[in-house]
């Protein structure tokens, strides 16, 4: 039973958990509230996994980016079987079937069917093609893949050059997931700088910046992106293209962050506890970093995580149109370039599978952002 | 109110100037121009253009002038004579290419906006009133999905479904026989028959976000004191819902229409390219690739103008809906 | 006499199966005003809402009956009626109507008040829009709305607080209900406006003969308006009696406690107040037995903590629910302790010697900016030519209605605003020119306590860091020194030292205000400016804080500038009082002088507006009409002229200066010739 302490007016500590007692700080409360948001947690886990994938694609993908085999152009996805039936009954033996190929002379295309007789065993931690982990640690183990190197292994199907779409999608995460992060980081710097200036100075400066933000927000983004992207010279190295695209994305992306920062700054400036800090004699630096920033950092994190999906979608769209990233860089948008028209898709719908990766990543980031936004103010409710 | 409208319209003018300048500069500033592109093409065919010829062409197109002079002559042409310059790629005045395309863009954008409203408003209200019901969960999930699927991917998927299952090639806004045909009843019905798919594609993410906005705001409004007060007057539940919470939730909804409209116009570019629509998108990208300067700049300008006007309209609508804006800023 | 509504065994449950109201019995008589009194969290509002079945989700009536006597004599049990049924809708607004505390949020800003008033009419009567409009305007006129035909088409944000409340009353009364439920209708209003609204409600009640259920936490308001009173504590009625009986002869220790903790304006209003210890616990932690027993000084552990209380009828309509009056009454001595404020506070300090703080001709104007370039287009004169002295060891009360500039003045003195002109001298420091070491000394010597104890404590910092920050920032203090200081301060403000480790969110409002006071005291200040420091607190907690501040003053020799709109609090805590109106001080003097011998007509009106001032009744009452003049517009003459009952032509031309003999100053051109009514003279006096 909980009792009521009449002198202090407080619920007595013996029965209540420590949380009610105010021993927990802001971040502990935010974390607790976030954990209550199931979808947010699920999204967070998926996002985390996606970034793990982005960090070590070479290990996770069955084959490297360069691997191709024209013999398996447009090979459909193989079905993964978990075991085989033998005389001794069912036996665990994960495998896929090899292809039987028939050439259709009318269309000139090969038609692939599964060959139940020929079994390609799937192994874990198999030795496959060599790669350099993080770009410098030589390795050859892959999380999974055909036990025998070089056997056809296309569980997501193959593209027109017989490249494994699964491996390429895994590699695509590296670019697609980071370009969002990088774009948002750039936007964040711009947003905090401009929003902070706007909120701090107020008056005419604030007014000018607000009109600018309103204006930028009212410009249709995609045509402008297209315009800017088309202006990237065609003959520069891929890495530079990557950075150009990042900059283009953040040119329009900073506005919402700037708004959040400014709004918080203005609201915070009139909070009583900030006034009290001023009266305590805190200088502006201390007020900003000790009192104001911690108070809206969680809001900024939430806004950031909600801004990343937009960047990912934009990169995908630009690359798909052929004015964003280009091969040899592999992003999900670049992969989707393969699916240029309905007829190609109709004959090889698995070319859209990298799109599924986009959808999952964006969904997860949205869930995460929603959860973070709800948790950002743990004192409400 | 009158002064509010006037002020709001005056605010639009600097925005339009800035838009036109940006549209122009984005195209004109990067190195290389249409003549370079022509020379490149010619070079590929093994046909080296003499420098003098290149310079002459540049002079003919006015590309040798300083940027601001080029901008000035372009923009005065646009404003004073409705002359958008000359398309190098089409060998036609830009305005002859741009107007029919823009018309269709407006039609498609408005149709999509209408689609968003018709679908999202009732669903948003339902989701808020029946919070945590099965229907609410389904719509909420669909909403998330709608936001997560890039619209060009949705277009591809729907086209694939239509093609693979119904054997229909659903690209474009017209059947081939109507593309060049003059306007008439037949062309109109043909347009309507083709319009729905791009409309759905373009409207999906907007619908998803409008559902979320309406749901969130309405949930806030449902328990506001004035709702209790009106209920205590003896008002019936449905009439109450419509007169107070829904009406109040309309304000954030209307102010959000800006962004929805921007997204529709903006996303329309890509969807049009994917679906081969006879709107501005495919031409814009072609013009950009060819550095067909006036063409590209005019397209970006007109799309931006469309958005700026849309913003203006939604602001005025908001002022009309909300007496607080009308009286306190007017 | 018969009852309009009889509530029996009412039970209201919220999510998580928490009973907010448990077994409530209440009779609401016809044609009378019944006041329901109690601190916040006692379940008053939710009880009122249950009568109309408009409790917000997730609350619901989960037991008991609410019997409404219909006009045809039949009885309707509202608790058993479906909330959405046509029958219930007919009751709402037709038989029973309701007005609320915050008309701004209870009226929609998107529709004109006329729309919302005529809506109420059209829901219950078949009537054309034109006729509804005519009736609505007539109703607005009846509730004293100025210029009703024009106001009918106004939106809420175009009206003043008092006008909004009038609009809401018109909306409630347009269907001539038999019962009006008024839920703290005057709490958000200024005291002079409150007086007007209370007058209006009393008048309307007498004219229409309707029953009124009036909910309030303010016993002054009760004295003003009630016929009968029911005192509520944690979802139950603990005492009920006719108003005079209850106020003069309270029985229940909770009622006694509420009365004792209320600052009084009769007799010695500086007498120390007696606070009820603790605060209302949340309903989920309702104590067993008598729910008041943990805070009750009579409580016997063997009984009150276990045995549920029954009602005892004391005759003459007086009912009380307390063991001390029940079958076991002989076990209780029923002796209340005398006020136990240990500090010697009775002697009023004289304003003598050299002032600690000296203010001369202080001006603070806020620029009104407009347009893109933020040009200054005008100025709000928030503080206008203020001169005053604060002497060491005294408490100076700054009192006035909202918008009079008292808070701005306080904040300017402490340094939150930069004054536009004038002189401020603190000890030997010229405050407006102070830099470096002097500025630092000012920061530690002049401290402030804010109104909102939630907003003024940074939720991301531990209590220790909040209190100790001023020491960290100013001067060299080791962590151990600061820790020791914080521990000492916590003990001093009545909190456990282990609270230093915690964050503010776990504390109640009263405890947070104690923390805020500890922060103010951390630098051993000489002057503390308390800006409405007790206004956000419930009456018993408010008294605890006031008493504590008095003790601290006596122990530490502090000087206070106490800003408040509450005249009772000001009278209790202040040695001297400055009355402010429209950015100026209109009267300044010792507390006794101000309250017993006011010289400015505005002071007189303020005092007359305090609810519970004797006058049910008769004769010429002093009530203010109109509004405080717009502080952005230039003004000739006396700012109060338009509302003053003694105004002459000269008042509109000459600006009165603050002057007078000795310690008692006023800014009225006619103060010499006028004889004004004071707070303790309950009989109407005829003015000169």
8-state DSSP, A76: P
Q: Which residues in C491-520 are b (16+ Cβ under 10 Å) and which e?
A: ebbbbeeebbebbbbbbbbbbbbbbbbbbb
Calculate helix-pair angle for B94-129, B247-275, nearest 10 degrees: 140
Q: How confident is the model at residue C412 (pLDDT cuts 50, 70, 90)?
A: very high
8-state DSSP, C216: E
Triad A45, A48, A51: Cα angle to 5°: 150
A344/chain C closest Cα distance in angstroms? 55
Interface contacts (A, C; CB < 8 Å)? 113
Residues 6+ apart with CB under 8 A from B129: B218, B222, B241
Can you list the alpha helix ranges (DSSP code H) found in C249-314? 253-261
| Mean pLDDT score, C300-329 | 83
* Residues on chain A touching B150 (C-beta within 8 angstroms): 313, 316-317, 355, 358-359
| Mean pLDDT score, B304-323 | 83
| Cα–Cα distance for residue pair A256/A311, rounded to 1 Å | 13
B240/chain C closest Cα distance in angstroms? 11
Q: Are the beta carbons of B212 and B187 closer than 8 angstroms?
A: no
8-state DSSP, C308: P
Would you state the torsion angle of the CA atoms of residues A200, A201, A203, A208, taken in this order, to the nearest 10 degrees?
-90
pLDDT for residue A378: 77
Tokens, residue B322: 């909300």
Question: Residue A219: which of B156, B164, B304 has the nearest Cβ?
Answer: B304
Tokens, residue C647: 């105004």
Question: Residue A345: which of B156, B308, B311 has the nearest Cβ?
Answer: B156
8-state DSSP, B48: P
**Whether the predicted pLDDT of C686 surpasses 70:** no
Question: Residue A11: which of C285, C415, C501 has the nearest Cβ?
Answer: C285
**Whether the predicted pLDDT of A75 surpasses 90:** no
Q: Is B225 on the interface with C (CB under 8 A)?
A: yes
* Residues on chain A touching B265 (C-beta within 8 angstroms): 220
Q: What are phi and psi of B14, to 5 degrees?
A: -60, -35
Return the residue of C nearest to B223 by Cα: C56
Task: Tell me, letter by letter, the H, E, C secondary structure of C333-359.
Answer: CCCCCCCCCCCCCCCCCCCCCCCCEEE
| Cα–Cα distance for residue pair C602/C581, rounded to 1 Å | 8
Q: Which residues in C50-63 are b (16+ Cβ under 10 Å) and which e?
A: bbbbbbbeebebee
Interface contacts (A, B; CB < 8 Å)? 126
Calculate helix-pair angle for B94-129, B134-148, nearest 10 degrees: 150
Counting Cβ atoms within 10 Å, is residue C134 exposed (0-12), middle (13-18) or buried (19+)? middle
Hey, of A309, A332, A342, which one would you mutate to test binding to chain B, going by the most B CBs within 10 A of its CB? A342
Q: Considering chain A, what is the average pLDDT of its residues?
A: 81
C186/chain A closest Cα distance in angstroms? 27
Q: Is B284 on the interface with A (CB under 8 A)?
A: yes
Lowest mean pLDDT among A2-6, B158-162, C261-265: A2-6
- Most confident listed range (B284-293, C52-61, C207-216, C534-543): C207-216
Q: Is A294 on the interface with C (CB under 8 A)?
A: yes
Q: How confident is the model at residue C349 (pLDDT cuts 50, 70, 90)?
A: low
For A58, A156, A174, B275, the CA distances from A54, given in Å and listed in that order, are 9, 18, 4, 32
The alpha carbon dihedral of C389, C394, C398, C399 has a sign of negative
Q: What is the CB neighbour count within 10 angstroms for residue B83?
A: 16
Q: Are the beta carbons of C561 and C575 closer than 8 angstroms?
A: no
**Whether the predicted pLDDT of C51 surpasses 70:** yes
Q: What is the pLDDT of residues B126-183, one digit of tens each?
A: 999 998 899 999 998 888 888 888 888 898 888 888 887 877 766 777 877 777 777 7
B305/chain C closest Cα distance in angstroms? 23
Interface contacts (B, C; CB < 8 Å)? 75
Q: How confident is the model at residue C73 (pLDDT cuts 50, 70, 90)?
A: confident
C454/chain B closest Cα distance in angstroms? 23
Interface of A with C in 260-279 (CB under 8 A): 271-273, 275-279
Q: Is C377 on the interface with A (CB under 8 A)?
A: no
Please give the helix or strand (H or E) that residue C130 lies within, else none: helix C129-142
Please indicate whether residue A366 or residue A252 has the higher confidence score (pLDDT): A366
Interface of C with B in 80-119 (CB under 8 A): 84, 89-94, 97-98, 100, 102, 105-111, 116, 119
pLDDT for residue C372: 67
Question: Residue B229: which of C100, C123, C124 has the nearest Cβ?
Answer: C100
* Residues on chain B touching C124 (C-beta within 8 angstroms): 234
Interface of A with C in 136-175 (CB under 8 A): none
Question: Residue A21: which of C440, C502, C519 has the nearest Cβ?
Answer: C502
* Residues on chain A touching B205 (C-beta within 8 angstroms): none
C404/chain A closest Cα distance in angstroms? 20
Q: Is B82 on the interface with C (CB under 8 A)?
A: no
Triad A370, A375, A379: Cα angle to 5°: 145
| Mean pLDDT score, C618-645 | 77
Phi-psi region for residue B32, left (φ > 0), alpha (ψ -120 to 50) or beta?
Answer: left
Q: Is B124 on the interface with A (CB under 8 A)?
A: no
| Mean pLDDT score, C516-521 | 93
Q: Is C462 on the interface with A (CB under 8 A)?
A: yes
A130: nearest Cα among A85, A63, A82: A63
Q: How far apart are the first and last CA of chain B?
A: 5
Lowest mean pLDDT among A138-152, B25-39, C229-243, C281-295: B25-39
- Most confident listed range (B291-295, C316-320, C372-376): C316-320
Residue contact C92–B231, C-beta within 8 A: yes
**Whether the predicted pLDDT of A11 surpasses 70:** no
| Mean pLDDT score, C477-487 | 89
Give percent of chain C above pLDDT 70.
94
Q: What is the pLDDT of residues C150-197, one digit of tens each?
A: 999 999 888 888 889 999 999 999 998 999 999 988 888 888 888 888
For B147, B237, C59, the CA distances from C144, given in Å and listed in that order, are 54, 32, 36
| Cα–Cα distance for residue pair C383/C370, rounded to 1 Å | 22
Q: Is A289 on the interface with C (CB under 8 A)?
A: no
* Residues on chain A touching C294 (C-beta within 8 angstroms): 4, 6
pLDDT for residue C643: 86
Residue contact B244–C106, C-beta within 8 A: no
* Residues on chain C touching B328 (C-beta within 8 angstroms): 157
Question: Residue C123: which of B225, B233, B321 has the nearest Cβ?
Answer: B233
Enumerate neighbours of B (3 or more CB pairs within 8 A).
A, C
Phi-psi region for residue C349, left (φ > 0), alpha (ψ -120 to 50) or beta?
Answer: beta
Q: What is the pLDDT of residues B111-136, one digit of tens each?
A: 999 999 999 999 999 999 998 899 99
Question: Residue C56: which of B228, B230, B321 has the nearest Cβ?
Answer: B228
Q: What is the pLDDT of residues C103-159, one digit of tens each?
A: 888 999 899 999 999 999 999 989 999 999 999 999 999 888 888 999 999 998 888
**Whether the predicted pLDDT of A144 surpasses 80:** yes
Q: Which residue has the tokens 């060891």?
A: C393
| Cα–Cα distance for residue pair B295/B85, rounded to 1 Å | 8
Lowest mean pLDDT among A61-65, A219-223, B19-23, C285-289: A219-223
* Residues on chain A touching C503 (C-beta within 8 angstroms): 22-26
Q: Which residue has the tokens 């109407």?
A: C684
Q: Is B248 on the interface with C (CB under 8 A)?
A: yes
Residue contact B153–A355, C-beta within 8 A: yes
| Cα–Cα distance for residue pair A36/A45, rounded to 1 Å | 14
C256: nearest Cα among C326, C320, C346: C320
Q: How confident is the model at residue A10 (pLDDT cuts 50, 70, 90)?
A: very low
Q: Are the beta carbons of B235 and C123 closer than 8 angstroms?
A: yes
A85/chain B closest Cα distance in angstroms? 35
pLDDT for residue A52: 92
C3/chain B closest Cα distance in angstroms? 21
pLDDT for residue C328: 79
């Amino acid at each position: 039973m909980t009792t009521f302490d009449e002198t202090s007016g407080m619920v007595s500590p013996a029965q209540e958990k420590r949380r009610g007692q105010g021993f927990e700080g802001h971040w502990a409360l935010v974390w607790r509230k976030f954990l209550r948001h199931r979808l947010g947690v699920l999204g967070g886990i998926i996002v985390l996994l996606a970034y793990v994938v982005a960090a070590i694609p070479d290990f996770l993908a069955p084959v490297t980016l360069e691997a191709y085999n024209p013999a398996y152009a447009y090979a459909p996805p193989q079905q993964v079987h978990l075991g085989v039936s033998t005389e001794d009954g069912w036996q665990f033996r994960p495998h896929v079937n090899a292809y039987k190929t028939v050439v259709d002379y009318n269309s000139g295309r090969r038609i692939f069917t599964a060959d139940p007789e020929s079994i390609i065993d799937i192994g874990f931690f198999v030795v496959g093609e060599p790669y350099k982990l993080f770009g410098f640690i030589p390795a050859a183990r892959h999380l999974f893949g055909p036990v025998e190197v070089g056997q056809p292994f296309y569980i997501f199907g193959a593209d027109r050059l017989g490249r494994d779409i699964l491996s390429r999608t895994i590699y695509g995460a590296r670019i697609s997931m980071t370009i969002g992060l990088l774009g948002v980081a750039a936007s964040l710097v711009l947003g905090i700088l401009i929003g902070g200036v706007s909120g701090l100075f107020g008056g005419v400066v604030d007014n000018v910046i607000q009109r600018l933000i309103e204006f930028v927000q009212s410009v249709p983004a995609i045509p402008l992106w297209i315009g800017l992207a088309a202006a990237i010279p065609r003959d520069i190295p891929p890495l530079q293209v990557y950075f150009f695209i990042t900059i283009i994305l953040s040119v329009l992306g900073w506005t919402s962050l700037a708004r959040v920062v400014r709004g918080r700054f203005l609201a915070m400036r009139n909070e009583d506890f900030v006034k009290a800090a001023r009266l305590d004699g805190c200088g502006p630096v201390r007020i900003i970093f000790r009192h104001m920033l911690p108070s809206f950092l969680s809001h900024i994190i939430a806004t950031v995580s909600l801004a990343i999906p937009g960047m990912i979608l934009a990169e995908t769209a630009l690359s798909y149109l052929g004015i964003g990233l280009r091969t040899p860089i592999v992003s999900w948008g670049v992969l989707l370039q393969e699916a240029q028209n309905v007829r190609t898709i109709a004959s090889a719908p698995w070319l859209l599978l990298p799109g599924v990766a986009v959808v999952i990543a964006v969904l997860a980031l949205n869930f995460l952002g929603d959860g973070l936004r709800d948790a950002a103010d743990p004192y409400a409710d | 109110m009158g002064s509010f409208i006037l002020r709001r319209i005056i605010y639009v003018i600097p925005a339009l100037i800035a838009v036109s300048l940006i549209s122009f500069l984005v195209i004109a500033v990067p190195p290389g121009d249409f003549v370079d592109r022509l020379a490149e093409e010619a070079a590929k065919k093994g046909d080296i253009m003499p420098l003098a010829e290149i310079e002459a062409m540049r002079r003919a197109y006015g590309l040798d002038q300083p940027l601001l002079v080029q901008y000035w002559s372009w923009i005065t042409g646009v404003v004073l004579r409705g002359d958008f310059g000359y398309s190098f790629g089409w060998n036609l005045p830009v305005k002859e290419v741009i107007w029919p395309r823009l018309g269709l863009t407006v039609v498609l954008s408005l149709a999509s906006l209408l689609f968003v409203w018709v679908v999202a408003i009732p669903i948003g209200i339902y989701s808020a009133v029946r919070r945590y019901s099965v229907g609410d969960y389904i719509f909420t999930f669909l909403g998330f999905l709608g936001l997560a699927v890039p619209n060009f991917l949705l277009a591809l998927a729907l086209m694939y479904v239509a093609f693979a299952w119904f054997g229909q090639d659903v690209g474009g806004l017209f059947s081939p026989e109507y593309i060049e045909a003059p306007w008439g009843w037949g062309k109109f019905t043909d347009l309507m028959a083709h319009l729905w798919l791009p409309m759905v594609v373009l409207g999906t993410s907007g619908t998803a976000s409008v559902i979320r906005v309406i749901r969130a705001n309405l949930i806030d409004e449902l328990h506001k004191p004035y709702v209790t007060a009106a209920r205590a007057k003896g008002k019936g539940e449905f009439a109450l819902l419509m007169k107070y919470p829904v009406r109040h939730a309309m304000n954030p909804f209307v102010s959000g229409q800006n962004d929805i409209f921007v997204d529709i116009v903006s996303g329309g570019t890509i969807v049009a390219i994917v679906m081969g629509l006879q709107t501005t998108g495919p031409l814009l990208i072609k013009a950009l690739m060819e550095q067909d300067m006036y063409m590209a700049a005019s397209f970006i300008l007109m799309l931006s103008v469309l958005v700026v006007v849309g913003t203006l309209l939604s602001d005025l609508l908001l002022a009309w809906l909300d007496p607080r804006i009308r009286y306190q800023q007017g | 006499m018969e009852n309009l509504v009889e509530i029996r065994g009412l039970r209201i449950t919220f999510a998580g199966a928490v009973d907010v109201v448990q077994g409530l019995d209440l009779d609401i008589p016809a044609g009378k005003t019944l006041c329901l009194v109690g601190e916040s969290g006692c379940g008053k509002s939710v009880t009122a809402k249950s009568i109309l079945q408009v409790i917000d989700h997730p609350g619901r009536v989960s037991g008991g009956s609410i019997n409404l006597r219909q006009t045809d004599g039949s009885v309707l049990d509202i608790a058993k009626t479906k909330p959405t049924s046509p029958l219930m809708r007919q009751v709402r607004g037709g038989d029973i109507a309701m007005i609320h505390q915050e008309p701004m949020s209870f009226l929609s800003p998107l529709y004109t008040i006329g729309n919302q008033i005529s809506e109420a009419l059209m829901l219950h009567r078949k009537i054309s829009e034109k006729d509804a409009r005519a009736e609505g305007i007539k109703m607005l006129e009846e509730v004293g709305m100025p210029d009703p035909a024009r106001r009918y088409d106004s939106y809420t944000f175009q009206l003043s607080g008092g006008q909004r409340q009038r609009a809401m009353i018109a909306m409630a009364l347009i269907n001539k209900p038999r019962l009006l439920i008024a839920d703290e209708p005057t709490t958000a209003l200024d005291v002079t406006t409150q007086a007007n609204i209370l007058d209006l409600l009393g008048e309307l009640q007498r004219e229409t003969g309707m029953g009124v259920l009036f909910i309030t936490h303010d016993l002054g308001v009760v004295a003003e308006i009630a016929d009968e009173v029911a005192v509520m504590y944690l979802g139950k009625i603990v005492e009920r009696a006719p108003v005079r009986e209850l106020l003069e002869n309270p029985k229940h220790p909770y009622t006694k406690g509420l009365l004792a903790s209320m600052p009084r304006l009769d007799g010695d209003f500086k007498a120390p107040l007696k606070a009820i210890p603790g605060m209302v616990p949340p309903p989920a932690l309702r104590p067993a037995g008598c729910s008041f027993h943990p805070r009750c000084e009579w409580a016997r552990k063997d009984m009150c903590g276990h045995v549920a209380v029954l009602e005892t009828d004391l005759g003459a309509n007086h009912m009380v629910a307390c063991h001390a009056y029940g079958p076991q009454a002989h076990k209780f001595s029923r002796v209340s302790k005398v006020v136990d404020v240990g500090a010697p506070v009775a002697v009023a300090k004289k304003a003598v010697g050299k002032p600690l703080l000296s203010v001369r001709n202080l001006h603070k104007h806020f620029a009104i900016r407009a347009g893109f370039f933020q040009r200054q287009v005008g100025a709000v004169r928030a503080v206008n030519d203020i001169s005053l002295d604060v002497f060491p060891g005294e408490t100076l009360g700054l009192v006035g209605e909202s918008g009079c500039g008292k808070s701005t003045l306080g904040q300017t003195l402490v340094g939150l605003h930069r004054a536009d002109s004038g002189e401020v001298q603190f000890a030997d420091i010229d405050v407006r020119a102070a830099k470096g070491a002097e500025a630092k000394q000012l920061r530690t010597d002049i401290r402030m306590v804010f109104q909102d104890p939630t907003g003024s404590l940074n939720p991301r910092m531990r209590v220790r860091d909040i209190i100790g920050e001023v020491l960290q920032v100013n001067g060299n203090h080791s962590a151990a020194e600061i820790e020791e200081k914080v521990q000492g301060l916590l003990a001093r403000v009545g909190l456990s030292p282990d609270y230093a480790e915690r964050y503010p969110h776990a504390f109640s409002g009263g405890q947070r205000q104690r923390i805020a006071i500890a922060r103010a005291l951390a630098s051993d200040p000489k002057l503390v400016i308390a800006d409405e420091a007790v206004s956000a607190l419930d009456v018993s907690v408010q008294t605890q804080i006031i008493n504590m501040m008095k003790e601290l003053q006596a122990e530490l020799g502090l000087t206070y500038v106490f800003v408040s709109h509450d005249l009772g609090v000001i009278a209790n805590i202040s040695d001297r009082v400055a009355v402010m109106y429209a950015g100026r001080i209109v009267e300044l003097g010792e507390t006794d002088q101000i309250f017993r011998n006011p010289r400015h007509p505005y002071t007189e009106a303020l005092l007359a507006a305090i609810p519970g001032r004797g006058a049910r009744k008769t004769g010429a009452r002093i009530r203010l009409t109109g509004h405080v003049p717009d502080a952005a517009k230039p003004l000739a003459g006396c700012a109060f002229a338009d509302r003053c009952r003694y105004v002459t032509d000269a008042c509109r031309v000459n600006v009165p200066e603050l002057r007078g003999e000795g310690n008692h100053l006023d800014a009225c051109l006619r103060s010499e010739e006028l004889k004004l009514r004071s707070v303790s003279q309950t009989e109407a006096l005829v003015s000169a």
